[in-house]
Structure 1
Amino acid sequence: MSLALAGATVAALPGQVPQARADSDTGSTVANVQVGLSITLSDLTAAFTLAGNPGQTVASGTGLPVTMRVTTNNFAGYSVTVQPQAANLVGAIAGNTDVVPVTLLQVRGPAQVAFTALSSATPLEVARKTAASDPAGDLISNDFQITVPFVRPDTYSGTLNYVATTL
């Protein structure tokens, strides 16, 4: 048996099949990883209490600060603000109509040298960094103080909203 291939003759031995030649080709592709901008505010202290009598100035101090963690990959950095949800802290006892104005509550964060009064009308910047955070996040703490007003004995509460924003 003989096979003709493009003018050549290949003889096959009886009982054998001619071997096919291996061939290959190459190509490539580009791998892209698109990374988005991310910012997270986590581990925020759930609540704190300042306790004192009318006329006393009480502070959270270094033992009871409000802490949080900010994590961002934004190399321009971030800002953290705090703003009370309402103009007054209200009492827990039914029938108590006394209130504590939030403007009496003061905060000091890394962005302030001295305590600064809160306002329900305007957010107050309490932290700023002009670089990305540590990969594990930046730990931020805020101290609070108040001069206790002359109101009925009660626990006066209000919500403080913290917002972390990329620069």
Structure 2
Amino acid sequence: MLAVGGSLLVTAGLAGLMVAGPTAFAEDTGVTANAEVASTISIAADEAAFTLADVPGETASNTSGLTVQTNNEGGYNVAVEADVPALEGESAENTDDIPIGTLEVQDGEETYASMSDTESVTVHGQTERSAEGGDTVTASYQMEMPFVNADTYSGDLTFTATAN
């Protein structure tokens, strides 16, 4: 007997019911899901500027903060280099400048090293990745204030973070 026009098919001698529809078949196909996470590193200054202030002959000091974030399991190093050979006065009439080597930054060895516009100074290093939100790195500076015209002297510094 054959029922026509429906989705149910019954045949004589078949002891069961066959339903037409999609079928599923599962087998291990050997496909592997991979997630490749690339190494990344970033650095950001917490402040745009810092100031050392005192009278000539005295040593002024200050700090500036940086945030470094990396997922590199070998850690990272932070170095700083001056962009200019001298700090220049803001006043147009001021012809004095302060050689950049007068500004000193504390290196990773806890001693102070003269800044340079040709060579960087490492200020921090570690052999493990940063915290997920980044690590705070503090750079400490000092300068024996030179005998120059009273003014604000400025020059840019570039910090670089490199993964180990």
TM-score range, shorter chain: 0.7 to 0.9
Question: Which amino acid counterpart does residue 156 of structure 2 have in structure 1?
Answer: T
Residue number in structure 1 paired with 2:139:
142
Paired residue secondary structure (2:128): coil
Comparing 119-128 and 21-30, the one that deviates more: 21-30
Alignment root-mean-square deviation, CA: 2.3
1:166 aligns with 2:154: no
The CA deviation at 1:126 is 0.5
Are 2:12 and 1:11 equivalent residues in the alignment?
yes
Q: 1:57 aligns with which of 40, 43, 59?
A: 59
Structure 1 residue 19, shift from structure 2 partner:
3.6
Distance 2:77 2:56 in 1: 34
**Ranges in structure 2 where 5+ consecutive residues have no aligned partner:** 4-9
Aligned pair partner of 2:99 in 98, 101, 104: 101
Provide the TM-score with structure 2 as the length reference.
0.84
Identify the residue that residue 112 of structure 1 maps to in structure 2.
109
Partner residue, 1:26: 26
Per the TM alignment, residue 68 of structure 1 is displaced from its structure 2 partner at its CA by 0.7
Aligned residues: 153
Report deviation, 1:127. Answer: 0.5
Q: Distance in 2 between matches of 1:21 and 1:70?
A: 58
Q: Does 1:68 align with 2:70?
A: no
> 2:47: which partner in 1?
45
SS at match of 2:11: strand
Q: Give deviations 1:83-127, integer Å, cap 9, x for gaps.
A: 000110000001211000110001115x13122111111011000
Cα distance, 1:131 vs. partner?
Answer: 1.1
Deviations 1:3-42 (A, max 9, x none): 9xxxxx9239xxxx96437642124543221100100112
The alignment-based identity, stated in percent, is: 33
Give the drift of 1:48.
0.7
With over 3 angstroms needed to count, the CA separation of the structure-2 counterparts of 1:18 and 1:119, relative to structure 1, is closer
User: What amino acid is aligned across from residue 24 of structure 2 in structure 1?
Assistant: S
Deviation at 1:44, TM superposition (A): 3.1
Counterparts of 2:22 and 2:37, CA distance in 1? 42
Counterpart code for 1:134: A
Residues 18, 142 of structure 1: alpha-carbon distance in 2 compared, 3 angstrom cutoff: closer
2:90 corresponds to 1:78: no
Aligned to 1:6: none
TM, length-normalised to structure 1? 0.83
Report the alpha carbon displacement of residue 137 of structure 1 after superposing the two structures with TM: 1.3
The alignment partner of 1:26 has SS state of: coil
Q: Which of 116, 122, 146 is matched with 1:125 structurally?
A: 122
Give 1:135 shift: 1.5
Q: Name whichever of 41-50 and 123-132 sits farther off.
A: 41-50
Distance 1:108 1:88, change over 3 A: same
Question: What CA distance in whole angstroms lies between the structure 2 residues aligned with 1:52 and 1:97?
Answer: 20
